[in-house]
Every structure is written in C-alpha cells, then in structure tokens.
Chains A and B, each alone.
Chain A
Amino acid sequence: MKREEIFERLNNVFRDVFDDESITVSEKTTSADIEDWDSLEHINLIVAVEQEFGIKFNMGEVTTMKNVGEMVNIIESRVK
C-alpha cells in the first residue's frame, strides 16, 4: 500500500472518530492539533485504525508514537 493511500484512509478514520469533516492529517499532525484528541479518545482512534488496516499495534508502539507520520510508518511496515 502506498503511503498516500494510507494517509487517505487514515484521514477518513480521523474524521469519523472525531466526527469532524474538516480534519486533514499530515506527517506532523499530533494530538495538540485536534481539539478532541485526548487520552480517552486516543484509545478509540487506535482501535479504529487497527480495524481499518486489519493490524494490531503493540504497547511499545502506541507509547512511542509521536505523530501521525510515525503511525503511518508502523502501518506501512505491517500492510504490504
């Protein structure tokens, strides 16, 4: 899967989870950029992303992810 395609699908997940059609995520997007992205919503986001791509993040990955770009890196490495 191409990086652009991952971003596109990821963007839809973000829009659904935060119920905000104006969201566009980029490499550098972090929780500070999205109003509702707190630690409680974070878990829903993780679950939704896992289900969208049919993958599982492990604890180490979730705790060290710093921005959306890093999330995409992990997804990219899992889905071929």
Chain B
Amino acid sequence: MKELKYPFDVEYLIKNKKKIKRELLNKEGLIEKNIAILGGSTTSEIKNMLEIFLLNYGIKPTFYESEYNKYYEDAVFGNEELDNFKPDIIYIHTTNRNIMNYPTIVDDEDTINQMLETEYKKLEQIWEKLQEKFGAVIIQNNFEYPYYRLLGNKDVSDMHGRINFINRLNDKIYSYINNHNNIFINDINYLSSCYGLDKWANQFYWHMYKYALEVPAIPYLAFNIANIIKSIYGKNKKAFVLDLDNTLWGGIVGDDGVENLAIGPEVPSGQVYAEFQEYIKAHKNLGIILNVNSKNEHENAIAGLNHPAGILKPDDFIIIKANWNPKHMNIKDIAEELNLGADSFVFVDDNPAERHIVEETYEGIGVPEIDVPENYIRIIDHNGYFEMTNFSKEDIKKNELYKDNAKRSQMMATFENYDDYLKSLKMKAEISSFKPIYLERISQLSNKSNQFNLTTKRYSLADIEHVANSENYIKIYGKLEDIFGDNGVISVVIGHIKGKELHIDLWIMSCRVLKRNMEYAMMDELMRRAKEENITTVYGYYYPTLKNKMVKNFYEDQGFTLISEDDKGNKFYKQDVESYKNKNNVIEVEE
C-alpha cells in the first residue's frame, strides 16, 4: 500500500490507521503469526502501527501485549496468558528509560562495570528464559542515546557518561546476538538518530503517556520491526529492476548521447549518480539480482552502461530489457525469466507515471517514491527491502549462479575444446552495412576503442554519416548475442574502395567479446562483400599505439601476407579475395 512506504505521511497514518487496517484485512493469503510485545513503556500505538505494516506484508498478527512496563516480569516469571499465547515472535521494547543503574561521576570503575553487568544480565536472563520456554524468535531493541549529556562531549568517552555506558551495554547485546540464533537487533539507536533524537525523545509523550518516543515517530519504529519480521518469514525483496535515464544517470542516452550523460566525478550531478550506482552495485554481493527495465534502444542502454565513468556495467545485470514495451509488461517478462514473483522486485524509476502503473499492476512490488537524485539512496535504503536477518555465505554463492561470467567459465571447464565451448554459447551475430540507428554507437565505438583497434582512426558522427552514405566504402557493423544475452554493436569495419582494391581504414572490436571468433565472422563478411564489389585484393594496416598491442599480429592471424613494416612498427598487409577461406564456424551470422 502506497501509504505504508518510507517516507511516511505520519498525519495520514495516525488518522486513518483503522481504515487502512480494514482494507488490508481483505488481502488474500495472509499468514497468521502470534506476536508478543513485552514493553518497558507504553506500547499500544506501536502495536497498532505494527499491525498495519505487517498486514501490508501479508502477515496477520495476533498480539499479546504485556501490562505497562512488565516486560521483565512476563519474561522471567511467566504469566499464564503469555504461556497460553504461544508466541512466534517476541518483541522486547526496552529503551533507555528502562536502565535502572546509571553511573554517576563519583563511581569507581569496578562499580560501573558491576552496573553494566547488572543491566546486561537482566536482558540476558530475559532472552534465555524466553528461548527456553517458547523457542520463539526474539527481537530486541538496542538502547537509544539519552537526550541530554551531563558531562557534555565527554559523556561519550568517559566511563561515567551515560552515552558511554549505553554504548558499552549495546556492545554486550550485539555480541550475544552475534553468537546466538533466533534473536535479532532492532536498531532504535539508528532510527532515533535518523529521526532526530530531540524530536524522538520529546518528553511530552513520556510524561503524559509514558511513551519512550514521540507518537509521530512510531510509524518509523513499527516499520522497522515489520521489516525484520517480514525478512524472517522470507518476504524480503530479491531483485532490483532499474530504469536508466535520469535514474542511473542524468540525461537521456538516446537524445543526449553517451558523452553528455551526467555520471562520474566531474560535476555534482554526475557524482550523485555515480554514488547511486555504487550503492546499487553493492547489493550484488548481498545476493540481490540487478536488472534493467528502460525505454531505450538496446544499443543505447548498453552504451550508457558502458560509460567509462559508470560503476554499473552491462555484466552486472542479469536481464536487460531496453525496448519500447510498456514497463509493466517488461516486468512480467523479467519475472518469468528469473522465475521470481514480481512482488520480490524493487522497481526504481524516476517517472511517477511508470511507478504508478507498475505499482497498480503488481501487488506487493516495491516501488520507492524517489524524488531528486540526491535522495535516491536514502529513500530506497530506509524502505528496508533487503533486511539481512538470514544472511549467510550461501547467499553469496547463490548469486554467483546468476553471474554470467561465472557461468561461462564453469561451462568452459566441461568442454573438450574451445570450439565446443564457443558453439555451446549459441552465438548469433548480425553483421550488416551501417544502419542509421547505429551510427551514433558506431561513432562512439570508434572514439573509445583503444585496444582492439588496428588504426586508431577516430570518426565523428558526421564522418560516420558520410561513410554510411558513400558508395566508395564497404562499412559493416557486428552485433553479437549469446545464451547470456545481447552484447549490442561490438565491432565495426570500414574499408575504402580504390578500383579493384579495398583498404581497411578501421577495424575495431569491443573487448567484451574477445576470443569469441567474432573477428573471423567479421572478416568472412568483409571478404564476401569485397567479392560482390569485384575487388581482387584487400589491404590491411596496423599502426601501433601504447594501447593496441593485443592486435599486433591480427592480420597474420587472419592469414594476410605482410608486405612491409617500418621502423615504428607500422605494418602493411594484403590478402587475395579469391583464395580467402572462411574461418568462422561457431557463430551463426545473419544480416
């Protein structure tokens, strides 16, 4: 439900929670869970808010709520009602109001350590008793900071300070949690700092109603607890589905061109997108699958993702849908291809209209209301889509399976020879004379290819247009697709015709498709076209640069004959068209 996403309209939630609850109860397939709230302060509104956030996640809670500040008694001494309730989850809502022993300036170190132990043991006793009795999952608050500092700045560094004491106490809680299963931290220390501690600790609510946080902060608390619970029950999101233009970079790649996109360190708007890409990319290691859903020519999308200053590269994505289909239709395809439900996706798009239709189409899909780029990370992050309660090493491995490169090398190991492997990739190439929609990409490739580039001749878009429209050139581009996806336009060859001679002015290929025999497929096609044009001899040139050593012996490898080499290493070759034999036998070529 739209209203239950971060950031919240707190006023609306407080006023309409009953209405919201009624609506959510109509949802189908709710799973029922018993949740006990053991509070050290008033919890009524926490329960109400938690209920609607959980319903929104498809979890229907039945609550047990301890009497006011009876969390310790309920847990340690038991209570018939709680015993009969059989909780699945026990939430312990303690706050710094529940710390009984704080150090004072006159206490010595032993006394303070003793206090710390006393406060900690009280909690440990609660957890052990509850585990022993119920075997339920426990969610424990850490402690938030006090809203005043008796020792000023020293409060944090000196053992007599309350902030220092709370940090030490929290550390003890964490080390217990890190060494035990079925107990999770609810980080109210972080929540209160995001919210603003002075507001969070608004004392009006404590003195009036014994709420340890102000009531308008409760949706944030309840949402955080609900995120932990939904994660425990396997309802985390699993994949990002990302728009490109003005989402992963500033500008529109199809209109502005790759070189004009805002991404990278030069300008503030480029920095913000680069940082956002970093944030998204970091999710890969957490086992989150990245996908693209963009209204774009596929080539443009790939070109944008290959922007040298970009952090995310085409290989980071499992599925790239860059086409002109409606986005919600692409999501259906992505879901089918990944064999995941659309409700496990987080769809990130700067366009509110796209967000709206996707949200209306797929119940439960995560659609963060991102506004300006500098807020993207915060808004996505604070929605808690990927709460890591059950994170394990297996998650990392699981994601490896999705990774193309890992797949490729795994496959390689099982093949007798490299040709067999290449054949298994089911590569399909489109090799054809220049077409208008690719001219930008072709010009771009000629300007940024340095390694697999025989002559390092650069072509502006106007140059490429000239070549495209002239009869005096054979000019072909190659696109390569395999079982792992489409690589887009990755190779370009331009040769000028001089009577019965063809001179190869430009030969470039993207390093992404090295060692795939694409260069043979390109040469076969070049020779076929040369023959059509009644050319008898093709001449090749290699001009060395600092970066193109990898193609030093390119023409030798292609079977050309070396005619001359000067002292700078410039080499000049020729090849008879008549005696040329096709070399590609692993790529299926179409025009």
Contact = CB atoms under 8 A, between A and B. Distances in A.
B45 interface: yes
Interface stretch (B8-16, B189-197, B222-230, B463-471): B8-16
A64 interface: no
Given A16-B16, A48-B14, 20 more contacts: A16-B15, A16-B19, A17-B15, A18-B18, A19-B22, A40-B209, A43-B205, A43-B208, A43-B211, A44-B14, A44-B215, A47-B14, A47-B215, A48-B11, A48-B15, A51-B216, A58-B204, A59-B207, A62-B208, A63-B208
Which of B10, B15, B22 has the most C-beta atoms of chain A within 10 angstroms of its own C-beta? B15
Given A48-B11, A51-B14, A19 B208 contact: no
Given A59-B207, A59-B208, A40 B45 contact: yes
Range for the number of chain A residues in contact with chain B: 10 to 19
B61 to A, nearest CB: 18
Contacts of B208: 43, 59, 62-63
Contact of A44 (B45, B204, B207): B45
A17 to B, nearest CB: 6
B209 A47 contact: no
Interface string A9-24: 0000100111100000
Contacts of B204: 58-59
Contacts of B14: 17, 44, 47-48, 51
A18 B15 CA distance: 8
Contact of B45 (A13, A16, A19, A43): A43
Interface string A45-72: 0011001100000110011000000000
Given A43-B205, A43-B209, A59-B204, A51 B215 contact: no
B44 interface: yes
B215 A43 contact: yes
A16 B15 CA distance: 5
| 3 A-B pairs with the lowest CB-CB distances in the bound complex, closest first | A19-B18, A16-B15, A51-B11
B23 to A, nearest CB: 12
A19 B18 CA distance: 6
A77 interface: no
B503 to A, nearest CB: 76
A40 B44 contact: yes
Contacts of A59: 204, 207-208
Range for the number of chain B residues in contact with chain A: 10 to 19
Contacts of B42: 40
A34 B437 CA distance: 69
Contacts of A39: 209
Contacts of A48: 11, 14-15
Given A43-B45, A43-B208, A51 B16 contact: no
A63 B207 CA distance: 11
A52 B12 CA distance: 10
Contacts of A63: 208
B19 A19 contact: yes
Interface in B1-39: 10-11, 14-16, 18-19, 22
A29 to B, nearest CB: 18
A52 to B, nearest CB: 8
Contacts of A13: 15
Contacts of B15: 13, 16-17, 48
Contacts of A52: 11
A63 B44 CA distance: 20
A47 B216 contact: yes
A59 B202 CA distance: 11
Contacts of A16: 15-16, 19
Nearest to A57: B204
Interface in B171-216: 204-205, 207-209, 211, 215-216
A47 B14 CA distance: 8
A43 B205 CA distance: 9
A39 B211 CA distance: 13
A48 B17 CA distance: 12
A49 to B, nearest CB: 10
Nearest to A17: B15
Nearest to B21: A19
A16 B20 CA distance: 11
Nearest to B205: A43
A12 B252 CA distance: 46
A16 B9 CA distance: 15
Contacts of A40: 42, 44-45, 209
